[in-house]
Amino acid sequence: MANKYNFDQKIDRRKTHSYKWDVSQDEISLSIADTDFLVANEIQEAIISRSNDATYGYTFVPNEYYKAYIHWWKNRYGLDLKEEYFIFSTSVVASIDSIIKRISKVGDYISLFAPNYNVFFNCIENNNRKVLEIPFVYKDYQYSIDWDLFEKEVQKSKIFILCNPHNPIGIQFSENEIKRIVEICKKYNIYIISDEIHSDLDYNEKRYNPVLKFVDYEKAIMLVSPGKTFNLAGLHSSVIIIRDKDLRELIQKGVYEDDVGEPSYFSIEPVIAAYTKCEQYVNEENEYIKENRRILAEFLVKNDIKMKIISGFATYLLWIDISYYSNDSEAFTEELKRSAKIIVGSGKHYHEHYSSFIRINIATQKEIILQFCNRLLRFLKERE
Ligand SMILES: Cc1ncc(COP(=O)(O)O)c(C=O)c1O
């Protein structure tokens, strides 16, 4: 079947006040986690139609908004949700920040796997809680969970933050792993905040497993948003999903107190369009990302570039072991920027221990992936 959407189409994002593309004309950016893809025309139409109202006053969240999420999670992932479980929030990070304040105290430990999305660390530390890292095992260029360590460490914490699928290492957690994580947290009465913002970005047929699907645990909180999948981060639209009524009321109150519970005029209709009309967009997007990864992986092998892609097949972020070339990812990425005009993420952002990794975002046009490959090769040759 012919593709409906054109992911090859280039957009000059430098003209759109984009954080990712706030770079000079000769630089290419594979850094910040949003895509360079045009949104689905169904979403664009929803925005244009809303814009045509020409009055942009305060807005509430209609039931159709939550119904759209329910439809998507049921159809795609077999998860049953009810409207009453939902709380609107302007962003996933704002939700995490607000939730931490409500269910933990100053000085409490909050645990997470490491490496992990760097902003979680800020959310913990800015609220004067303590980070408890539970490192993945890194062996033969693969990550896995050390279950004994997990159980030993997680019980010291008040909250466990899960990133499912995982940024930066791009893995899905299997059904068994999710069940085991939830069961261990339940055993020690630990809250789980599961950030599932990357849920739909999965290009290896191995569907992601929502934390609320398998084990009924009243302290499990799931956060999702269309921001990554549909390139809508700038609309500030996300949800918190909690089954337990008491916990939900506590968090809902917190979200209002923190003033992150009200949508913008454009937060609603585009999201309804995304979750009710754009499944094909996501399927084609995943295929496109998969092909970008294949191109890059083949290029590395063919040109004897000794960088190793570690990631699984989820998210559009690749976590790459560069230890053959450098153990100082800060210096390496700065050199890449200066000499090769390519901008990628430094592993050190994720912690000192990860200075022999870089993170690159491949949700861009094939043409840019090829430019990246050629510039990287030239850079490494000049460096020899
Ligand atoms: C795991 C994860 N959570 C949250 C965010 C940010 O989400 P939001 O813009 O909704 O705060 C990102 C962005 O990269 C992310 O990777």
Mean pLDDT of 319-327: 97
- Across the chain, the runs of DSSP E, i.e. the strands, are 28-29, 86-89, 109-114, 130-135, 137-139, 142-144, 159-163, 191-195, 220-224, 238-242, 308-309, 317-321, 342-343, 345-346, 357-361
Ligand 1 binding pocket includes 225 (Cβ within 6 Å): yes
- Does the beta carbon of 197 lie inside 6 Å of ligand 1? yes
Q: Would 151 be classed as within a structural domain?
A: yes
pLDDT at 36: 97
Q: Is residue 263 part of a domain?
A: yes
Domain shared by 262 and 346, yes or no: no
Best of 32, 89, 93 for a ligand 1 pocket test (most atoms within 8 Å of beta carbon): 93
Q: Tell me, using a 6 A CB cutoff, whether residue 167 lines ligand 1.
A: yes
Residue 72 pLDDT > 70 = yes
Q: Is the pTM of this model over 0.95?
A: yes
356 lines ligand 1 (CB under 6 A): no
Q: Are residues 50 and 35 in the same domain?
A: no
pLDDT band (50, 70, 90) for residue 271: very high
Residue 1 pLDDT = 64
Ligand 1 pocket check for 221: Cβ under 6 Å: no
- Whether 82 has a pLDDT exceeding 80, the answer reads yes
Range of the domain at 338: 13-40+279-383
The reply to whether 218 and 158 lie within a common domain is yes
261 in a structural domain: yes
Q: Is residue 1 included in any domain, yes or no?
A: no
> Ligand 1: which of 97, 117, 316 to mutate, judged by most atoms within 8 Å of the beta carbon?
117
| Judgement on whether residues 81 and 136 belong to the same structural domain of the protein | yes
CA of residue 333 to ligand 1 center, whole Å: 22
CA terminus-to-terminus distance, the chain: 46
Report whether residue 185 contacts ligand 1, using a CB cutoff of 6 Å. Answer: no
- Identify whether residues 220 and 285 lie together within a single domain: no
CB of residue 233 inside a 6 A radius of ligand 1: yes
* Rounded-to-integer distance, Cα 198 and Cα 179, Å: 19
DSSP code, position 357: E
| Residue of 22, 43, 17, 28 lying closest to 364 (CA atoms) | 28
pLDDT tens digit string along 32-55? 999 999 999 999 999 999 999 999
Same domain, 150 and 245: yes
Between 83-92, 95-104, 121-130, 307-316, the lowest mean confidence (pLDDT) is in: 307-316
Out of 261, 276, 291, a domain closes at 276
**Looking at the predicted structure, is the pLDDT value of residue 237 above 70?**
yes
Per-residue pLDDT, 215: 86
Q: Return mean pLDDT, the chain.
A: 96
Give the whole-angstrom CA distance, residue 163 versus residue 353. Answer: 19
Residue 350 has pLDDT above 90, yes or no: no
pLDDT at 206 over 80: no
